[in-house]
Amino acid sequence: MEKTLVSPTTLILLMIIISQFMSIVGDLKTWNPSLPYEIFSQDFAARLSLSPDSVAAASGDFGGMVTETPAAVLYPASAADVVELIEFSYNSSSPFAVAARGHGHSARGQATAKDGVVVEMSSLKRNGGRIRVSWSESLGFYADVGGHELWVDVLRASLPHGLAPVSWTDYLYLTVGGTLSNAGISGQSFRYGPQIANVIEMDVITGKGELITCSKHINSELFFAVLGGLGQFGVITRARIVLDKAPTRVKWVRMLYDDFTKFTRDQEHLISIDDGLDYVEGSLIMTQSPANNWRSSFFSPSHQSQIASLISNHGIIYSLELVKYYDDETATTIDEELQEMFKGLSFIGGLVFEKDVSFFDFLNRVRSGEVKLRQKGMWDVPHPWLNLFVPKSRILDFNVGVFVDIILRQNKTSGPILVYPTNKARWDDRMSAVVPEEETFYCVGLLHSSRVNEWEELGNQNEEILKYCDEAGIKIKQYLPHYKTEEDWEKHFGKKWQIFQQRKALFDPKLILSPGQRIFSQSSSWVWSIDA
């Protein structure tokens, strides 16, 4: 008899029918053996929703530009539910896509699953997930954290022990699994590495439905694949995160520049100081990208008037943002340490601004801006972001060709523009994440916000920036990448492309996981037959 391929939607409906039937009549050992009812738990259907509201909520993301409608949404009570779902898809004659959705903060639909199933990982928190802080002689302090947990909750759980993770993102309301699937970067990365460099161990559900514990020493191929792997190799259900002694307060300083060369030279000097600063970030200040923005409010009205005058004269000025952690033991020397580090810097005289805040308030600085924007209805708008890693050797060319000739000239940007250096030595090349070849490279973030009907214009500007870099031979790498063709992905991964393909074939051979990244398709020339 000829086999009939069943659509993903029909398969999901079949799952519900089977599970509901089982809940009524009990264990059906004599029912049609061709149907794989035995893999389902009796209450699985109650956690799988086809409701229009659930499906609509899982169809988009923070970017607000891509809508991909799933067939259903799973609200798991435990990792076993996710295993059950993926295992069913893998064993099906017509596998369907599965995407793990954390806080939905992707920009281009990366956490969507058209006609498949989106797994709302936050449901695990409502079902008893927790964060456990521990110590061992071999590992030191660490926290076991669900992949669904928000980083702000990891911070809140570890601080009462006088501890905290060492590497952060600027925004803490992101999930652990989400940032580890990318890299997790901020102004601490030059010193402590990205978040993926501070993971000891993980529990991961592969595209075969296997729940595997992995580390650098156990199942290491999966461990390195998942870190920065864009969700292609598994769903992170637990991560063991490095903790260190937490400071109590921070000295938070900003200084202004009117010369990009001096601005970047000082940043590079500051990140080279051993046991120096704990955080270094830079940003552009223009008319369309103001000094105070949703990331932080630092300057008083009188300062803003002075800054506006500088912008009028120069078009762009540059803000260097620096932080040094301290506690009671170092409180008496912190100012002296900073003044010593600032000697020889080329900032504009008299334009140095300082705050003294708690460690928590500094790390959670973006939250207050978010609350204000939500109150104004300006948070849930399209965000056509572009994040790049730019080699140090070409950052001056990038400034002229992008910041001046494209962004300043076109006057379209609305949102923060970040530019700050980090060190390649802090990244483990065995991981899936890719960075430029040079030892020092810059993290550039064009964090656009847009009206609903205007995001395509900013998207076109992003394409112009990418085209300029390509034609100028600036070997950038996208962070939180978005590409349209497999050839572009191959160029992105470069020397890692072959191993990326091999890992996909090993851990997700039927291309079930994270289809929203648009890396692979069933027509990919390398794909093995799913019947093999």
**Which residues are part of the catalytic machinery?**
105, 170, 281
CB under 8 Å to 131, separation ≥6 — which residues?
143, 144, 145, 146, 149, 153, 154, 157, 158
Q: What residue type is assigned to position 499 of the chain?
A: I
* CA pair distance 365, 294, nearest whole angstrom: 9
Three-state SS at 316: coil
Dihedrals phi, psi of 282, to nearest 5 degrees: -120, 160
The whole-angstrom separation of Cα 121 and Cα 106 is 14
Positive/negative CA dihedral, 35, 38, 39, 42: positive
Strand, helix or coil for residue 355: strand
Among residues 224, 357, 367, 178, the alpha carbon closest in space to that of 279 is found at 357
262's enclosing H/E stretch is helix 260-271
CB atoms within 10 A of CB 440: 19
**Distance of alpha carbon 240 from alpha carbon 291, whole angstroms:** 37
Question: Which pair of structure tokens corresponds to residue 51?
Answer: 């409701």
The structure tokens 């504009």 sit at 348
Q: Which CA distances in Å does 272 have to 50, 267, 457? A: 54, 9, 39
Quickly count: other Cβ atoms within 10 Å of residue 531's Cβ.
Answer: 5
- Measured in whole angstroms, the distance separating CA 532 from the mean position of its chain's CA atoms is 34
Q: How far is CA 448 from the centre of its chain?
A: 16
Quick one: how far is CA 198 from the chain centroid? Answer: 15
- Distances in whole angstroms, Cα of residue 371 to Cα of each of 122, 250, 283: 20, 23, 22
Largest Cα span, the chain:
84
Write out the two tokens for 405.
């000739």
Structure tokens at 481: 């990448």
